[in-house]
Amino acid sequence: MAKTWTLTRSLRSRSWDSHRLLAVQAEIQTKVQDTWSSGGYERVGASGWTLPAIGLAAALAGFAGTIGPDARWLSAVGGTIVRLGALPHTVPYAAAHSEGWQNVPVLAELIFRGLQVSLGGRGLLAAQTVAVVLATLLIARDARRLGANDAGIAATLVVMLIAGLLAFVGIRAQLFALVLFPALVFVLRSEEAAPSRRIWVVVPLLALWSNLHGSALVGVCLLLVYLVGERARRRLLESAGVAVASLLALCATPALAGTPGYYADALTNEAARRGYGLWAPLSLSSGFDLVLIAGAALLLVDFIRARPRPWQLAAALLLAAFTVHAARNGIWLLLFAAAPAACALRTKVRPPAAVSHGIALVLVAGAVVGLVRGPLEIGASSRLIARALAEAHGRPILADPAVAEQIAGAGGRVWISNPLDAFRPADQRLYLDWLQGRRPGLRQVNRSSVVIVGRGSVGDRQLSNNRDFVAAVTDKRERLFVRRGSQ
């Protein structure tokens, strides 16, 4: 662009014949077109195919956003904090023993509570939509900085959105991490090119992250890989200082010195040991996991073609291992590989502005329709929940995690629920045994008066053959059983 302005100034200071003037004007036009196609305009904001890709992110999150397990418990605990004006050290809506629970994600609990109270489920859906859009914008900006063009960025974003569909549409406690993770990656890649004191911004970022979600551990692991594999060779003392400060930042939570214990319990809870639920490993029998594997493979091939530095290769391998261990970690691998992968596609085909803007507007309209309608939900109907609360008379209800969180959100009590790591290992095992239909879990059924099970599940079949219980209400997904004589 500098040459363009130089040519323009020269036109004003000299006398040119008409032929020379036309030649210079043509040169100016060529320079402007080259600047446009090389990405100069793209640095200002989303354009070309990138704009509809970001619109797709908004549409997926806004229209298909679903509230499932690991979301409502935050609001329930946040409500207790607001009501008591103090932090609970037990899970307030659960009857199982949870004394001494180290409550770390207090900030997330209060934010979820505020969103739930002010806007209901639409508040959580709006937050999820904003988080997904910000994540795609950060990745697009990172890709542009690395030299990717419009088509490469758009194609990569579409692959990432499809492969990580469950994470982008599932409203869970990791909502905030969808923004914080790419923000951390952006800082690290910027520092890779030009090391500066800006690296210290990762310390408050990780402190904030630790108060919001336990995936801050993934961010710390990524930071340590960068510091050891890249920065320490040139700035050893500074790298050591950042590493120590970042580890301490993880403990800048209400639990303070108890924070490491919280993370240890979260990583070793019974669901993690068994690979159950959100801790399920990558599986070739799951359609969503197969899509994740295919998308990750495409991105990793282009990621390697971009010739990343050794620390990035090590980080990608680490995140791949995390993904194999628990499929839900695949989102971090996708977010990490996306920006460099975008550099592998070098086509300069750009749509007319009217086309890209039109597609983006349609997609954003879909997101708005979803926000007005509200989030999709899994679990029990409001009618079944209301009947369960009426039948329980304040007694704890036995239910699967998603329904248990609904009951907690409605002001009822459950025997046990998320966060599972807050409870004694023996109770965790008993609960998982019941969820998986194992015989030891029947002991807890015999102690319960009100039980909610998924239709067609092992628990449904067991209780249907149990003469001590009667089916009171059935909806599309769940069935309520009540002990005879307790109605």
Average pLDDT value for residue range 331-335: 98
pLDDT, tens digit (0-9, with 9 covering 90-100), for 377-432: 888 999 999 999 999 999 999 999 999 999 999 999 999 999 999 999 999 999 99
Of 5-14, 211-220, 353-362, the range with the lowest mean pLDDT is 5-14
**Cα gap 216→205, rounded to integer Å:** 9
CA 388 to chain centre: 31
Three-state secondary structure along 30-70?
HHHHHHHHCCCHHHCCCCCCHHHHHHHHHHHHHHHCEECCC
Burial 121-151 (b: 16+ CB within 10 A, else e): bbbbbbbbbbbbbbbbbbbbbbbbebebbbb
Residue 64 has pLDDT above 70, yes or no: yes
- Tell me which residue has tokens 């600047």: 35
DSSP H/E element including 470: strand 469-474
Residue 202 has pLDDT above 50, yes or no: yes
Average pLDDT value for residue range 465-480: 93
Residue 42 has pLDDT above 70, yes or no: no
Residue 12 has pLDDT above 70, yes or no: no
Residue 38 has pLDDT above 70, yes or no: no
| pLDDT reported for residue 231 | 95
DSSP 239-289: HHHHHHHHHHHHT-STTGGGHHHHHHHHHSSHHHHHT-GGGPPP-TT-HHH
pLDDT, tens digit (0-9, with 9 covering 90-100), for 66-86: 998 888 999 999 999 999 999
Q: Check if the beta carbon of residue 414 is closer than 8 Å to that of residue 398.
A: yes
pLDDT, tens digit (0-9, with 9 covering 90-100), for 118-158: 998 999 999 999 999 999 999 999 999 999 999 999 999 99
| pLDDT reported for residue 29 | 46
| pLDDT reported for residue 11 | 37
Reported pTM: 0.88
Residue 45 has pLDDT above 50, yes or no: no
Q: How confident is the model at residue 266 (pLDDT cuts 50, 70, 90)?
A: very high
| pLDDT reported for residue 164 | 97
Rounded to 5 degrees, what angle do the CA atoms 12, 18, 23 make?
80
Q: Check if the beta carbon of residue 481 is closer than 8 Å to that of residue 472.
A: yes
Residue 40 has pLDDT above 70, yes or no: no
| pLDDT reported for residue 84 | 92
Average pLDDT value for residue range 40-59: 76
Q: Residues 6 or more apart from 347 whose CB is under 8 A from it?
A: 149, 151, 152
Average pLDDT value for residue range 191-212: 95
Torsion angles phi and psi, residue 374, rounded to 5: 100, 170
